[in-house]
Amino acid sequence: MTTHIESEEHRALRAAVAALGTRHGRGHDHRALWSEAGGLGYLGVNLPEAYGGGGGGITELSIVLEELGAAGCPLLMLIVSPAICGTVIARFGTEEQRRTWLPGLADGSRLMAFGITEPDAGSNSHRITTTARRDGADWLLSGRKVFVSGVDIADATLVVGRTEDARTGRLKPCLFIVPRDTPGFGRRKIDMELDAQEKQFELTLDDVRLPAGALVGGGDDAGLLQLFAGLNPERIMTAAFAIGMGRYAVARAVEYARDRTVWTSPIGAHQAIAHPLAQAHIDLELARLMMQKAAALYDAGDDAGAGEAANMAKYAAGEACARAVDQAVHTLGGNGLTREFGLASLITAARVARIAPVSREMILNYVSHQTLGLPKSY
């Protein structure tokens, strides 16, 4: 599934990552794949060359995640560690923060989680209550976060909090790097029906003492810019995650429909089977085009344009993935629910792309308000 709008280098990257994914396949050893992908330079392909990265952008990183997903072995932490955290630190971090974190994020030897969602805030980031206050040269960070991926395997978590603006007295966003073993930084695993290798956690921060250097950028400005610098790549990479998953499901269904014969011809010869799979393929391809547009805009520095396109790409990919997985399972009938064929678990996983990191309804709110200029309902 290559397109004429991709460069020869991008097609080569796609083929190389697809080969890596095929070698590992579904039921892969997560850590072994992460380590090998890091060694080959795929995990940090979007990070600056000066800090061990590939010097590319979200365009390249989305190709990596999509192709791993299409091979049945997506790496969820690609969305978080290099795409969100790596991007924020590369764009806004101090020189010390870049030197400390980016080489490890690039080669996969270090991981960083991202904590933004709160129990009482949901999609409303303006209601974040995790707050930081100064205590001498240090910061004291207190609050709660929920649905934070991979905290147990991450060396640190990039936590979104709020500080008081000395000029206005209002609370404004800020981002802190919190090492995993910092005193007062607690975690509790959330019992999820979703059977993913990356676990979900609730975090508690009880007067977590952090040095001044833990504040990303080291200053009190640009908190909102930093936050949105990470959220657009998150949406683009979630689209890649969904498209890869959808491609994997359709490919398995097509294989089955070609071979499965119940009457006199393979079931794939019947339009009731063939047409929905063709439609799923079309929907995934269309979603990918919007993802490529969003990535190109982001990598070109057009944050406003990328915001609209990234939201649209995430919406389209989430919907296309859910439909593709549903049709793939339906194509296999009872076999689609067996562990042997490995599609049933995708039913739950496909929902994630419609819910996280922002729900489809909130994206529709964004488009109706920001793009169409309709009045806000909230």
Q: What's the pLDDT at 176? A: 96
- Lowest-pLDDT range of 125-129, 229-233, 255-259, 347-351: 125-129
- Tell me if residue 73 falls in helix, strand or coil: coil
pLDDT band at 164 (very low <50, low <70, confident <90, very high): confident
Q: What's the pLDDT at 1? A: 47
Per-residue pLDDT tens digits for 4-56: 679 999 999 999 999 999 999 887 788 999 999 999 999 999 999 999 999 99
Q: What's the pLDDT at 229? A: 81
For residue 264, CA distances in Å to 252, 267, 269, 273, 335 come to 22, 9, 10, 15, 20
User: DSSP secondary-structure letter at 215?
Assistant: B
Where along the chain do the CATH 1.10.540.10 domains lie? Answer: 8-110
Per-residue pLDDT tens digits for 343-373: 999 999 999 999 999 999 999 999 999 999 9
Q: What's the rounded Cα separation, in Å, for the pair 104 and 216?
A: 17
Query: Cβ(92)–Cβ(132) under 8 Å?
Result: no
Query: What is 224-371's CATH topology?
Result: Butyryl-CoA Dehydrogenase, subunit A; domain 3 (1.20.140)
Residue that is written with structure tokens 């049945």 in the block: 72
| Sequence-ordered strand ranges (E) for 150-289 | 156-164, 171-179, 185-189, 200-210
Where along the chain do the CATH 1.20.140.10 domains lie? Answer: 224-371
Task: Evaluate if residue 221 carries a pLDDT over 80.
Answer: no
Q: How is residue 235 written in tokens?
A: 């949406």
Q: What's the rounded Cα separation, in Å, for the pair 131 and 162?
A: 5
For residue 74, CA distances in Å to 22, 38, 144, 341 come to 11, 14, 28, 17
Query: What is 8-110's CATH topology?
Result: Butyryl-Coa Dehydrogenase, subunit A; domain 1 (1.10.540)
Where along the chain do the CATH 2.40.110.10 domains lie? Answer: 113-221
Q: How many residues does the chain have?
A: 378
- Tell me if residue 191 falls in helix, strand or coil: coil
Percentage of residues in the chain having pLDDT higher than 70: 96
∠ CA 206-76-157, nearest 5°, is 20
Q: What is the CATH number of domain 113-221?
A: 2.40.110.10
- Lowest-pLDDT range of 71-80, 191-200, 361-370: 191-200
Cα dihedral 167/168/173/176 (nearest 10): 40
Q: What's the pLDDT at 283? A: 98
Q: What is the DSSP string of 59-127?
A: HHHHHHHHHHHHTT---THHIIIIIIIIHHHHHH--HHHHHHHHHHHHHTSS-EEEE---TTTTT-GGG
Q: Structure pTM?
A: 0.95
Average pLDDT, the chain: 93
- Whether the upstream peptide bond of residue 357 has omega within 30° of 0, thus cis, is yes
Q: What's the rounded Cα separation, in Å, for the pair 99 and 134?
A: 25
Q: What's the rounded Cα separation, in Å, for the pair 227 and 178?
A: 16
